[in-house]
Chain A
Amino acid sequence: MVTWPSNLPQMGDVLDLSAEADETVQRYEMSWGPPIQRRKFSAYYEKFELPMLMTDTQLQTLYDFYDNTLSNGSADFTWVHPITRNSATVRLFQRFTYNHKRGSLKMWNVTLFLEVKP
């Protein structure tokens, strides 16, 4: 499995992040007595939105990695979990977005949409 390119910003360079995870518990309200909760799945997928700052060259590398290495983002790759920093199998569930960093030349605000697989 391919790995996240070493010349791109690493997880430690993430400026900010937001996260959400699959619902894994089903809750039943009972007519009498306490509600019942049960596990629906034994594992879950997590989604992260990761803003990063990239140079022109790094953005070009990301284009190549996403379009060619990952076949338009469809393939898995190995990186680290954004919180635990353990090795994780991940994929990009949506194409990255970017805009020019105001007041700087050749720098880009890039946002990755990352899914960590269980």
Chain B
Amino acid sequence: MRVVSQDALKQLLSENIDHVFTYALKITHPNLNGGTPYRIIGDKVGYTINGNYFEPIPFGVDMQAAEEDSLPTMTISVGNVDPDLITTIKTQPTSPDVETYVIMIDTAGNAYIELGPDNFSVLNVDWDDAAVNFHLGFERRFLQEPAMKWAFVPGVANGLFQ
């Protein structure tokens, strides 16, 4: 279960929420930006969080509702502002790793990581003339892998095989 900080909980239950809750992303790929991660935040100004500067970039985040027996997924949308964006995406042999954070910014302008990092990979990308949508998830779909821990092998019941 998620642990929510006292300050965040107080804000969430308040009638007047003066702290800003927003998303931040760290995008890493060896072929992009010389391997240096892109750090972006969904606000109008940038913030330094834990010594790393997050650039203000407009993007939308759609988190799917949590469902039993399914892995979490997330969709990030950015404006399709440049044809080079699609070309860059299409020519990459591997997908980038994305760390997602929920950031809380207090009234004094201090930014904190409230949740995260959560580690995702870009599984699929689609686009139209207005937006590029990155569908995030886990490359290793561990819910569909065999549960080896529970396989009945001789080592589980030594007495039966002696």
List A residues at the B interface (Cβ < 8 Å).
Answer: 22, 34-45, 118
A43 and B43 contact, CB distance less than 8 A = yes
Give complex CA distance A70, B124 in Å.
Answer: 38
List the 8 closest pairs (A to B, CB-CB), nearest first.
Answer: A38-B17, A43-B44, A43-B45, A42-B20, A42-B105, A39-B20, A41-B44, A118-B45
Chain B nearest CB: distance from A21 CB in Å? Answer: 11
* Selected A-B contacts with CB under 8 Å, 13 pairs: A22-B44, A35-B15, A37-B16, A38-B11, A38-B16, A38-B21, A39-B18, A40-B20, A41-B20, A41-B22, A41-B44, A42-B20, A43-B45
B93 within 8 A of A: no
CB of B131 to closest CB in A, whole Å: 19
Q: Given the complex of chains A and B, what is the CA–CA distance between A38 and B22 in angstroms?
A: 12
The count of chain B contact residues (Cβ–Cβ below 8 Å) is 15
Q: Is B15 within 8 A of A34, CB to CB?
A: yes
**Per DSSP, are chain A's interface residues mostly helix, strand or loop, or mixed?**
loop
Say whether B26 faces chain A, with CB atoms less than 8 Å apart.
Answer: no
Q: Which residues of B contact A39 (CB under 8 A)?
A: 17-20
Contacts of A34 in B (CB 8 A): 15
A42 partner residues in chain B, CB cutoff 8 A:
20, 43-45, 105, 109
In the complex, chain B residues 31-60 whose Cβ is within 8 Å of any chain A Cβ: 43-45
A residues less than 8 Å from B45 (CB atoms): 42-43, 118
Q: How far, in Å, is B107 (CB) from chain A's closest CB?
A: 9
B9 CB to nearest A CB, Å: 14
